[in-house]
Amino acid sequence: MSYQHYNLYKRNKINIIQFVFGPFQENTFVIWSENNQQAIVIDPGMSNGQEENIFQNALQEHNLILKAIYNTHCHIDHIMGVGYLQKKDSIVFYHHPTEESNIHRSSQMSALWNIPYSPPIEKGKSLTEGETWQIGEEIFEVIEVPGHCEGHLAFIHHDSKTIFSGDIIFRESIGRTDLPGGNIDIIQNSIYRLYTFPNEYVIFNGHGPETTIGHEKNHNPFFPLR
């Protein structure tokens, strides 16, 4: 469902806003539960003042209070808005501990590509497999799915059959494996791990449109179902 500068999805017990931000057309997600106005953001990619205003206006439109940042991984396109949010509201930033190297590398990438970038102003907190995080009463499982980078995570809300996959898998495509920490064999294992979830699980990924586990099993040209 399109609305202004974002898409709004209502799934079982959770609401999802999807923005497309920055020169890399990265998907940023805000999530909140049906009975609670506290929200979290996954992979904030706001790259300029206009996108920051779009983000804040959406929060105000839905009367949301942002409580935390959860990153699937920390390539520059997925963390361009972290510094802004930390400076504005002292938002806590969670990511896999090995992603510190990608955070440090992002300043070099911004200079190389000549794009503006304000790095995080506070060090993130560790998030690894076996942990969960929560908005309202809704619990999200954290799993490690490396291959695009070493510390890549996916977040799963089982009640709504929803997966936030970052850049591991896209609609009929996969994430790059030629960046530091990428590995084609490892990303294959991560994708086949995602395929163990039921076909109806919807995948919201880091770039492009959403897909489903079943669609990728049948139509992904890189890693179809074995």
- Give residue-wise pLDDT tens across range 5-16: 899 999 999 999
- Give residue-wise pLDDT tens across range 128-154: 999 999 999 999 999 999 999 999 999
Range with the poorest average pLDDT among 51-65, 105-119, 157-171 = 105-119
Task: Supply the pLDDT for residue 2.
Answer: 38
Share of the chain above pLDDT 90, in %: 87
Average pLDDT of the segment spanning 113-120: 87
Residue 44, C-beta contacts closer than 8 angstroms, at least 6 positions apart: 28, 55, 69, 78, 79, 80, 81, 82, 84, 85
User: Which residue would you say has higher pLDDT here, 123 or 226?
Assistant: 123
Range with the poorest average pLDDT among 81-90, 115-124, 146-155, 171-180 = 115-124
3-state secondary structure of 192: helix
The angle subtended at Cα 179 by Cα 215 and Cα 83, nearest 5°, is 90
Whole-number average pLDDT of the chain: 94
End-to-end CA distance of the chain: 34
Q: Hey, what are 152's tokens?
A: 């890549």
- Give residue-wise pLDDT tens across range 205-216: 999 999 999 999
Share of the chain above pLDDT 70, in %: 98
Tokens 């935390």 map to which residue? 68
Q: Give CA separation, 132 vs 139, 153, 155, 156, in Å.
A: 7, 12, 9, 9
- Give residue-wise pLDDT tens across range 48-69: 999 999 999 999 999 999 999 9
User: Burial letters for 11-35: b for 16+ Cβ neighbours within 10 Å, e otherwise?
Assistant: bebbbbbbbbbbebebbbbbbbbee
Q: Hey, what are 25's tokens?
A: 């057309």
- Give residue-wise pLDDT tens across range 168-219: 999 999 999 999 999 999 999 999 999 999 999 999 999 999 999 999 999 9
Res. 1: pLDDT tops 80: no
Res. 155: pLDDT tops 90: yes
Task: Supply the pLDDT for residue 81.
Answer: 96
pTM: 0.95
Q: What is the DSSP code (8-state) at residue 123?
A: P
Domain range 2-219, CATH architecture: 4-Layer Sandwich (3.60)
